[in-house]
Amino acid sequence: MTSATKPRHAVRSVVGGSLGNLVEWYDWYVYSAFSLYFAKSFFPQDDPTAQLLSTSIVFAIGFVMRPLGGWVLGLAADKYGRKAALTWSIMLMCFGSLIITLCPTYASIGVAAPILLTVARMAQGLSLGGEFGTAATYLTEIAPPEKRGFWSSFQYVTLIAGQLLALGLLVLLQFVFLTETQLEEWGWRFAFATGAVLAVSVFWLRRGIDETPDFVEESTGERKKGGFLTLIREHPKQVALVFGLSIGSNVSFYAFTTYMQKYLVASAGFAKDKASLICSAALIFYIVIQPMLGALSDRIGRKPLLMWTWVMGVLTTVPLFTAIGAAGSGTAAFFLICAAYLVISGSSATSAVVKAEMFPPHVRALGVGLPYAISQAFFGGTAESVALGFKSAGYEAAFFWYVAGCMAIALVTTLFVPETAPRKTGQRTA
């Protein structure tokens, strides 16, 4: 990194990239957090489990758009810059949130209501499909080489914080401002409106962030040809590795975060408000340990943390889910969920950096974003639907084994992942 390419406003750039990521994930997660309340507005059925299953299917449809977003915005980030792609992604997310905020209910416009809800989630899926790869690339490239693990871990800090913000707002509305009836009638709209306003604010913030040194250096010389064909021809192994890692990380993450709130209500027997409170408190613990493990990866490497996650995940996922379902108190459920978060943090804290360091700059955003998004579409986005489907069929425990199996796939994949952390301070990896 030369003095000519060093970011002029490094702190502002990291804050802009991170806060944008937080708002994007808040807008995405607020759907899951409030689905317990707005499900009947779009899917008026007598069976609450059927309503949740319907909203989960729409949640999964949003994931189908992720590969397209990872492809389009990944190409844009590699060709036009990380800053431009990040700005476009936040605009798409804002558009989706506004549609949901203003969308009439099923009682007002019939089947058009769930159709509009689906369109909004497709727009948000397109946005988030490009956000992950571009934000991972941005935070990794703008960091000093010897601190890439620490800096890039803030992608999951803000990702989790977005979920925590969504849950925190839900808890505040549940305990302080609104009744359950008010939340079901109109309170959920406030959450989506808040996301739209935050997205507009971040749009202006991202317009002022610096471009990354790696992209600037690529632009000043003879620019290498990027694109999908280049990625597949020159880096097929890396694409397969990102996909394999993402199977384990996506399924385990969504199982222990977004689905956990519903699991506590539908299976463990907790009230909706208490389940939200337990999940919010556990997410705070999850946030705190991300930078610690990210910094640790700068010292000992990325692979030891990945191996920790997958080995422990295979061994403990089924017992942890079983124990959480049988937890007799909120305190017990909290500590069990924290134990699960400690296990999966070896992956989440290093997710951005280990993927970004596998690729050269001219295909980096696409190489990180596209296989990750494809994995999200097939595995992450379907996790809730799979869980609820097993529950409806009377085989809920099968989902626990499914999660452990996906983590086993990631364990095998990690055996073939090269250690990407620089061996010497200041050494840059490809």
- Return the pLDDT at 343: 95
The number of domains in the chain is 1
Q: Is the pLDDT of residue 362 over 60?
A: yes
When comparing pLDDT for 259 and 21, which is higher? Answer: 259
- Return the pLDDT at 95: 85
Phi and psi dihedrals of 272, rounded to 5?
A: -55, -45
What are the CA-CA distances from residue 409 to residues 146, 185, 226, 355 (Å)?
A: 30, 43, 29, 17
Burial tier of 42 (Cβ tally within 10 Å: 0-12, 13-18, 19+): buried
Q: Which domain holds residue 249?
A: 17-213+228-417
Residues in the chain: 430
The whole-angstrom separation of Cα 418 and Cα 399 is 31
Nearest CA to 71 out of 201, 226, 219 is that of 226
**269 within some domain:** yes
Q: Is the pLDDT of residue 335 over 90?
A: yes
The amino acid present at 113, given as its one-letter code, is: A
The answer to whether 381 and 62 are in contact (CB under 8 A) is yes
Q: With b meaning 16 or more CB within 10 Å and e meaning fewer, what string describes 241-256?
A: bbbbbbbbbbbbbbbb
| High-pLDDT (> 90) share of the chain, % | 23
- Return the pLDDT at 45: 63
| High-pLDDT (> 70) share of the chain, % | 88
Strands, E assignment, 142-286: none
The answer to whether 398 and 255 are in contact (CB under 8 A) is no
Q: CA triplet 256, 86, 131: central angle to 5 degrees?
A: 25
Q: State the pLDDT confidence band at 344, using cuts at 50, 70 and 90.
A: very high
- Return the pLDDT at 320: 94
Q: What is the CA radius of gyration of the chain?
A: 21
Quick one: average pLDDT of 357-385? Answer: 85
What is the average pLDDT score of the chain? 82
- Return the pLDDT at 131: 81
- Return the pLDDT at 393: 83
**What's the pTM value of the predicted model, to 2 decimals?**
0.80
**164 within some domain:** yes
CATH number at residue 119: 1.20.1250.20
Q: State the pLDDT confidence band at 323, using cuts at 50, 70 and 90.
A: very high
Q: What is the DSSP letter of 246?
A: H
Indicate the Cα dihedral angle 247, 253, 258, 260, nearest 10°: 110
When comparing pLDDT for 7 and 286, which is higher? Answer: 286
List Cβ neighbours of 219 (8 Å cut-off, separation of 6 or more).
none
The whole-angstrom separation of Cα 333 and Cα 326 is 9
The answer to whether 126 and 262 are in contact (CB under 8 A) is no
Of 26-40, 134-148, 168-182, which gets the smallest average pLDDT? 26-40
- Residue-wise pLDDT for 227-253, tens only, equals 788 888 888 999 999 999 999 999 999
The number of C-alpha atoms within 13 Å of 307 and in the hemisphere containing its C-beta is 11
**430 within some domain:** no
Q: Is the pLDDT of residue 299 over 70?
A: yes
- Residue-wise pLDDT for 2-51, tens only, equals 444 455 555 666 666 677 778 877 877 787 778 777 777 777 666 566 56
**346 within some domain:** yes
Q: State the pLDDT confidence band at 138, using cuts at 50, 70 and 90.
A: confident
The tokens describing 166, both together, are 């969504």
**2 within some domain:** no
- Residue-wise pLDDT for 200-216, tens only, equals 888 877 777 777 777 77
The answer to whether 49 and 60 are in contact (CB under 8 A) is no
The tokens describing 26, both together, are 């808040």
Nearest CA to 22 out of 137, 151, 135, 144 is that of 135
List Cβ neighbours of 387 (8 Å cut-off, separation of 6 or more).
255, 259, 262, 263, 396, 399
- Residue 67, classed as helix, strand or coil, is helix
Quick one: average pLDDT of 323-339? Answer: 91
- Return the pLDDT at 296: 93
When comparing pLDDT for 415 and 64, which is higher? Answer: 415
Of 40-49, 124-133, 342-351, which gets the smallest average pLDDT? 40-49
When comparing pLDDT for 403 and 82, which is higher? Answer: 403
The whole-angstrom separation of Cα 185 and Cα 181 is 6
Nearest CA to 173 out of 160, 187, 193, 194 is that of 187
H runs (alpha helix) in 82-153: 82-102, 106-109, 112-142, 148-152
Sole residue written with tokens 């337990």: 278
Quick one: average pLDDT of 331-349? Answer: 94
Number of H helices, E strands in the chain: 21, 0
Q: State the pLDDT confidence band at 180, using cuts at 50, 70 and 90.
A: confident
**155 within some domain:** yes
The whole-angstrom separation of Cα 389 and Cα 400 is 13
- Residue-wise pLDDT for 265-283, tens only, equals 888 888 887 888 898 889 8
The tokens describing 190, both together, are 């406030």
The number of C-alpha atoms within 13 Å of 25 and in the hemisphere containing its C-beta is 25
Q: State the pLDDT confidence band at 220, using cuts at 50, 70 and 90.
A: low
**114 within some domain:** yes
**223 within some domain:** no
Quick one: average pLDDT of 319-340? Answer: 92
Q: Is the pLDDT of residue 423 over 70?
A: no
The tokens describing 427, both together, are 């050494």
Nearest CA to 141 out of 320, 348, 387, 361 is that of 361
Q: Is the pLDDT of residue 289 over 90?
A: yes
The answer to whether 214 and 148 are in contact (CB under 8 A) is no
Nearest CA to 86 out of 11, 21, 28, 159 is that of 21
The whole-angstrom separation of Cα 37 and Cα 240 is 39
- Return the pLDDT at 39: 75
The number of C-alpha atoms within 13 Å of 267 and in the hemisphere containing its C-beta is 25
- Return the pLDDT at 230: 87
- Return the pLDDT at 9: 55
